[in-house]
Amino acid sequence: EETKSWKKLINIAVSGAAGMISNHLLFKLASGEVFGPDQPIALKLLGSERSLQALEGVAMELEDSLFPLLREVSIGIDPYEVFQDAEWALLIGAKPRGPGMERADLLDINGQIFAEQGRALNAVASRNVKVIVVGNPCNTNALICMKNAPNIPAKNFHALTRLDENRAKCQLALKAGVFYDKVSNVTIWGNHSTTQVPDFLNAKIDGMPVIDVIKDRKWLEEEFTEKVQKRGGVLIQKWGRSSAASTAVSIVDAIRALITPTPKGDWFSTGVYTDGNPYGIAEGIVFSMPCRSNGDGDYVLVKDTEAELLAEKRCVAHLTGEGIAVCDLPGDTMLPGE
Ligand code: LMR
């Protein structure tokens, strides 16, 4: 008999489950390295008609691995079945871009998929399902999915920009000649596309501002930024297909970021709905921003430090000789609905 006390089984749905990214991801999920060594899981794998045979193969390999935490593997091609009671939905399945394409070229083809999957989640998933959209263009696909799932909180939908964050951290570490774990507070702003802004101004190395450690401002503004923006495309040129292993790793990082408390003073990037954001970013889109989590699966947006300092300054105007104090410190900076 089991001496260990297990947590309650959780249902994890993965689309594109017969694809390359999933082939890395599923075995990490099953091994316990994502949700923890006391967390049994059920994997619900969504494929397409075309990939059904391959999906059967994936399920066979998962079963043959005898993972103690993997209690169920089911496969299917109908999202209304596969997403039943899902507590996590990792939406990877979509047509990937090939050499010479931009991610936005996939808008039409992939948008339909995410509309349907949004409706399916709305109908059958757990009311608090956390959704991570990986298929490109992931920001807009996440928006489509969210809009088709009105009964699930908008804040539960994420577009994966953790891969960009990891890429940025790697480049900063290499340039500074330090190990990756010394780099923190890296924000990816905006779209998972070549217009994204990897923020080196607020990033830190060993707790110090990156700009005080890497003095080569031209490198930061030009080479670094472009390298991160174009990394996915360069990889496609080299491989002839898009990144898979590093994407799977970044999905693991993105999940862990939501289920473990964010280290003090740090944050992570994820693409989330902008309604109520404190940065002045247009509402109604999915935009990557800095977030923190207390580990319960939710997040709060990191406060805008500039706005906060200006508000504090207005509050103490009588002490700085700038007239009468006006206190308008904003309350919390959570998204509505929290
Ligand atoms: C990536 O960034 O590697 C993926 O989004 C695939 C792509 O199209 O670049």
Sketch the domain layout of the chain as residue ranges: 10-159, 162-301
Mutational pocket test of ligand 1: of 91, 109, 136, the residue with most ligand atoms within 8 Å of the beta carbon: 136
Q: Which residues are catalytic?
A: 192
User: Distance (Å, rounded) from C-alpha 228 to C-alpha 150?
Assistant: 34
Q: Decide: helix, strand or coil at residue 71.
A: strand
Q: Among the atoms of ligand 1, which is closest to the Cα of residue 134?
A: 5
Q: Decide: helix, strand or coil at residue 145.
A: helix
| pLDDT on residue 161 | 98
| pLDDT on residue 337 | 34
| pLDDT on residue 335 | 38
| pLDDT on residue 172 | 98
Q: Among the atoms of ligand 1, which is closest to the Cα of residue 235?
A: 3
Run means of pLDDT, 10 residues per run, the chain, 338 residues: 80 98 98 97 97 97 98 98 98 92 91 97 98 98 98 98 98 98 97 96 95 97 97 95 97 98 96 94 97 97 70 77 73 38
Q: Which CATH class is domain 162-301?
A: alpha beta
| pLDDT on residue 242 | 94
Distance between Cα 180 and ligand 1 center (Å)? 21
Q: Tokens for 294?
A: 């207390």
Nearest CA to ligand 1 atom 1: 232
| pLDDT on residue 323 | 81
Nearest CA to ligand 1 atom 3: 232
Beta strand ranges found along the chain (DSSP E)? 10-15, 41-46, 70-76, 88-91, 130-133, 157-159, 183-184, 187-189, 197-199, 204-205, 208-209, 268-273, 286-292, 300-301
Distance between Cα 245 and ligand 1 center (Å)? 12
Q: Which CATH class is domain 10-159?
A: alpha beta
Q: Among the atoms of ligand 1, which is closest to the Cα of residue 164?
A: 2
